[in-house]
Amino acid sequence: MTAQTIELESQLDAIRQEAQAAIADTETLDQLEQLRVKYLGKKGPIPQVLGGMGKLDPADRPRIGARANEVKEAIQGDLDRKRTALQSAQIQARLESEAIDVTMPGVFRPQGRVHPLNGTIDQVLDIFVGMGYTVAEGPEMETDYYNFEALNFLPDHPARDMQDTLYLPDGNLLRTHTSTVQIRYMENNDPPIRIAVPGRVYRRDTVDATHSAVFNQIEILAIDEGLTFTDLKGTIKVFLQEMFGDLPIRFRPSFFPFTEPSAEVDVKWKGRWLEILGCGMVDPNVLKAVGYDPEIYTGFAAGFGVERLAMVMHQIDDIRRLYSSDLRFLNQF
């Protein structure tokens, strides 16, 4: 063996030792890959050493070749073991950071529920939808025409007074009933018509246990050829039966500018007559206002306050409880 051969062997051993130490110190897969390129790549130190083989005694060449392969395999083995170790450490760290502790107590989320006003609206609309009515809605800001004029309110009707109605600076107003939506619907549709209209309405009112300046109304309207007061009575009877059960009901004569004749309807509950709704046959002037011929078409309408209905049904003593968001109250429904 020549001195040159011994020199190359020791160079190869030095490469192996340096690589081993560097691999042992590596902490990431990226660094490890850089080391692979550095020690086993084409431009690495081993091909460089082998390049010097030309000067060797030919008899020694296989020995150096074999040694170079041993070193390559040893480095490759170190790289593989280190890669496996780094990968499993990575997986382990991820498992630990993403672990779910199934014994932790859950986050308490209170159960929500439907507000009694919305529950009442849903119940009423379900009944009318069951009788073939369509639900319609419309704007809360209205013109004098839709709120009063088209509904046959005379120019000096007290409801038009500043005392009773909330007017806006531009002369528009906040609707005092949802009949405005029915006028708009009739303008845009031909008979037969059957609609149920829920919505917020506004009156200039002093708030007390039974009054609110903002409240909810539902009105129904049916227009067709040959509708009579009997159809109105039957419809109201079915509605009240579904709402209250088989209690006695009575119709009392009343007046509304937009119906003729008009009636109020009471339900007898625990020996007392409770006023529930107003209704009537649509006034011919209202039909004319929307361009329907009152000689061909007749119709009936009814309306009631949702708050009052909810108060009767749930025996609520003060309308303000419906707006105060007091969970001790709301949790009862």
Is residue 45 near ligand 2NL by the rule CB under 6 A?
no
CB of 331 to ligand 2NL, least distance (A): 29
CB of 108 to ligand 2NL, least distance (A): 42
Is residue 280 near ligand 2NL by the rule CB under 6 A?
yes
**Of all helices (H) and strands (E), which one includes residue 275?**
strand 272-282
CB of 271 to ligand 2NL, least distance (A): 24
Select the residue interacting with ligand 2NL from 12, 79, 121, 302 (CB under 6 A): 302
Tell me the site size for ligand 2NL, rule CB under 6 A. 19
Is residue 259 near ligand 2NL by the rule CB under 6 A?
yes
Select the residue interacting with ligand 2NL from 202, 258, 292, 297 (CB under 6 A): 258
Is residue 199 near ligand 2NL by the rule CB under 6 A?
no
Is residue 265 near ligand 2NL by the rule CB under 6 A?
no
Note whether 193 and 223 are within 8 A (CB). Answer: yes
Is residue 297 near ligand 2NL by the rule CB under 6 A?
no
Is residue 198 near ligand 2NL by the rule CB under 6 A?
no
Tell me whether residue 260 is annotated as binding.
Answer: yes
Does the bond joining 58 to the residue before it have cis omega, within 30 degrees of 0? no
Contacts of 172 (CB under 8 A, 6+ apart): 141, 142, 143, 144
Select the residue interacting with ligand 2NL from 8, 72, 303, 306 (CB under 6 A): 303
Q: Which of these, 111, 109, 74, 87, lies nearest to 32 by C-alpha position?
A: 87
Select the residue interacting with ligand 2NL from 26, 120, 176, 182 (CB under 6 A): 182
Q: What is the CA radius of gyration of the chain?
A: 44
Note whether 98 and 40 are within 8 A (CB). Answer: no
Please choose, out of 46-54, 82-90, 114-122, 252-260, the segment that lies near ligand 2NL by the rule CB under 6 A: 252-260
Select the residue interacting with ligand 2NL from 196, 286, 289, 310 (CB under 6 A): 286
Select the residue interacting with ligand 2NL from 279, 289, 311, 319 (CB under 6 A): 279
Q: Which of these, 67, 301, 37, lies nearest to 181 by C-alpha position?
A: 301
Select the residue interacting with ligand 2NL from 305, 307, 311, 322 (CB under 6 A): 305
Structure tokens given for 142: 């209205």
Contacts of 319 (CB under 8 A, 6+ apart): 209, 210, 211, 212, 215, 307, 308, 311
CB of 102 to ligand 2NL, least distance (A): 56
In angstroms, the CA 168 to CA 5 distance is 106
Strands 134-135 and 193-202: parallel
In angstroms, the CA 57 to CA 64 distance is 11
| Helix axes of 3-25 and 29-40: crossing angle, nearest 10 degrees | 170
Select the residue interacting with ligand 2NL from 5, 179, 212, 298 (CB under 6 A): 179
Note whether 46 and 40 are within 8 A (CB). Answer: yes
The site for ligand 2NL (CB under 6 A) is made up of 179, 182-183, 217, 219, 221, 256, 258-259, 278-280, 282, 286, 301-305
